[in-house]
A and B are shown apart, each in its own frame.
Chain A
């Protein structure tokens, strides 16, 4: 536990020395959401459909990119090797990253949610807190997928190529572009296997149904399960002994 807290503190300190990244992480999603609102200026129903989905897509994209690069650096700079010669367990290391990045994702989601529900006039019938929690769960998923990507990449060039390979298919099939219900049976079956489908289903349930509906909570649980599975699978790739 102390290892996890020390690691989270260290990760946040690294970010504090990098105010530009913090600015981009917090400012860009909000700016994109505002652009989206303007794009759908004459068709508010389009914004009501796509807006909520974006609220869970931002944390996936940002946390995947941040964590894949951060963990690749740990692997290639020798700091991971050094960490694994200390009593820090691999789970504590990842818990530290999860703490730091979830905190960041929750602040990001807070900014985006406040802007969307406030100035941009997006209607969300369900619990706002659950919207932010769902965004946090998606951030964990981004961390897990980024961790896995970092295991299969030898350079930062390679690791960012995992973005179109692993994240874009999920965005195409999650129900952002076409509702999942109107997909063909094959596409629908594939989209059933992808975690982001549940995140977008969940946020749509939250947008449509008041409070914390059972359907939304169920989707949140599925996203969390995928996130934990990805992180645990990724933990296996952090080997104490290397070539």
Chain B
């Protein structure tokens, strides 16, 4: 049994409507603190909406979402939750470093942290470049570095490795592992199943409902399959 303090995010009977259509239907789950949970499933399944709800920027939410013991979106959480958006939101007409310096000031982060993070996401060489001129993979690392600013206890990262080469992807998963080792909780979305295998737990979301929430090994065991793609297909067949 997990006690409450071991749970970083807890959602009960969560339903969310966007544009008059319900996209999450009565979802209940808990994310263990200090672990990496992979949020996977087909696109359009509600992954981004679920992440936005946890961060507290989503409207039309019913049910209860508690983050680090507080209601999602509480003012006190704004220093504790790092959010890497899918849109890779950064100022196009600022350099990489200037973007980080601005958000560091807003979060009251240490001055040296900007340079540390530039090194962590391997963007030192591009630090002076305008974001406008970056490649897609570089932009997603800017977004990631921005989410890591301050000392967030919970990191919500929407498709952080999309468009990255295998080497860089390996490097970033090493970084995620290191962060979770330091006690941070990570919620990382992906539509690629092989990334789910790198997570401690997998939350499978399909058509706004939780199809499964288990460790990768449990998912394989439960479905009698040898890879997570097959496990996903089997689960869909079992529960049409």
Binding site for B on A (CB under 8 A): 2-3, 6-7, 9-10, 13-14, 17-18, 77-79, 81-88, 239-243
Q: Is the CB of A241 within 8 A of B102?
A: no
**Chain B residues in 8 Å Cβ range of A82:** 83, 85, 89, 103, 146
| Chain A hits for B95, CB < 8 A | 17
Minimum Cβ distance to chain B for residue A105 (Å): 20
Given A10-B98, A14-B93, A87-B79, residue A78 in contact with residue B106 (CB < 8 A): no
Interface contacts (Cβ under 8 Å), in number, total 79
* Shortest beta-carbon distance from A87 to chain B in Å: 5
- The minimal Cβ–Cβ distance linking A94 to chain B, given in whole angstroms, is 14
Contacts of A13 in B (CB 8 A): 94, 98
Q: Which residues of B contact A239 (CB under 8 A)?
A: 59
Interface residues of B (CB under 8 A from A): 18-19, 55-61, 73, 75, 78-79, 81, 83, 85, 87-95, 98, 102-103, 105-108, 130, 146
Are B92 and A6 within 8 A (Cβ)?
Answer: no
Contact check, B106 vs A85: say whether CB atoms are below 8 A apart. no
CB distance from B220 to the nearest CB of A (A): 35
Report the bound CA distance from A13 to B96 in whole Å.
12
Q: Are A6 and B106 in contact (CB under 8 A)?
A: yes
Q: Which residues on the B side are within 8 Å of A3 (C-beta)?
A: 105-106
Query: Chain B nearest CB: distance from A3 CB in Å?
Result: 6
B111 → A minimal CB distance (Å): 13
Asked if residues B81 and A79 are in contact (CB atoms below 8 Å), the reply is no
Q: How far is the CA of A82 from the CA of B100 in the complex (A)?
A: 12
With the chains together, A3 CA to B104 CA distance in Å? 10
Question: Within the assembled complex, what's the spacing in Å between the Cα atoms of A78 and B78?
Answer: 17
Q: Could you tell me the distance between the alpha carbons of A84 and B102 in the complex, rounded to whole angstroms?
A: 14
Contact A243–B18 (Cβ < 8 Å): yes
| Alpha-carbon distance between A85 and B56 when the two chains are bound, in angstroms | 8
The contact of B93 among A9, A18, A240, by CB within 8 Å, is A18
Residues of B within 8 A of A18 (CB): 93
A17-B106 in contact (CB<8A):
no
Bound complex: CA of A242 vs CA of B55, how far in Å? 12
**Chain B residues within 8 Å of A78, by CB:** 85, 87-89
Cβ A240 vs Cβ B57 within 8 A? yes
CB–CB A85/B91 < 8 A: no
Supply 19 further A-B pairs (C-beta < 8 A) apart from A86-B78, A241-B57, A243-B19.
A3-B105, A6-B106, A13-B94, A17-B95, A17-B130, A18-B93, A77-B89, A78-B87, A82-B83, A87-B78, A87-B106, A87-B107, A88-B106, A240-B56, A240-B73, A241-B61, A241-B73, A242-B58, A243-B18
Smallest CB separation, A223 vs chain B (Å): 30
Chain A contacts for B93, CB-based, 8 A: 14, 17-18
Q: How far is the CA of A6 from the CA of B55 in the complex (A)?
A: 23
- Provide a sorted-by-A list of 26 A–B residue pairs whose CB atoms are within 8 angstroms: A2-B105, A2-B108, A3-B105, A7-B102, A14-B91, A14-B93, A77-B92, A78-B88, A79-B89, A81-B89, A83-B106, A84-B57, A85-B55, A85-B81, A85-B83, A86-B78, A87-B107, A239-B59, A240-B56, A240-B73, A241-B57, A241-B59, A241-B73, A243-B18, A243-B59, A243-B60
Measured in the bound complex, the distance between the Cα atoms of B81 and A88 in whole Å is 14
Query: Which chain B residues border A9 with CB–CB below 8 Å?
Result: 102, 105
A239 to B58, CA, bound (A): 10
Residues of A within 8 A of B81 (CB): 85
- Known contacts A14-B93, A241-B59; A86/B103 CB under 8 A: yes
Chain A residues within 8 Å of B79, by CB: 87
Q: Which among A79, A84, A86, A88 is the interface contact of B91 at CB below 8 angstroms?
A: A79
Question: Within the assembled complex, what's the spacing in Å between the Cα atoms of A85 and B93?
Answer: 21
Residues of A within 8 A of B78 (CB): 85-87
CB distance from B51 to the nearest CB of A (A): 11
Partner of B59, one of A6, A77, A242: A242
